[in-house]
Amino acid sequence: MSRKLTSVLLAMLILAGAMSLKTVVAAQNNGAVMMANGGAPVPPPMANGGAPVPPPMMANGGAPVPPPMMANGGAPVPPPSAQ
């Protein structure tokens, strides 16, 4: 039992150490991306971190998707009237 607890403690210590190290290293983060696997050219980072922007959810146009549920009941939202 104590060995298992030691394992948990060790995992937590390593995680805390790694995240602290990351905080120190990236203290002056200007959007640089750290990618280490292979020699492929790193694509330019996006404004919000390095993650690329996901594609729009709907196929037709990029308008924001309305919330799926209405406040009163769960009936589907009707399409806007033609007029």
Q: List interacting residues with other proteins (CB under 8 A).
A: 3-4, 6-8, 10-12, 14-15, 17-19, 21-22, 25-30, 32, 34-44, 46, 48-55
Residue 43 or 69 having the CB closest to other proteins: 43
Min separation Cβ 57 and other proteins, Å: 12
Min separation Cβ 13 and other proteins, Å: 9
* Cα(47)–Cα(62) distance, integer angstroms: 19
* H/E element, 2: helix 2-25
58 Cβ neighbours under 8 A, 6+ residues apart: 65
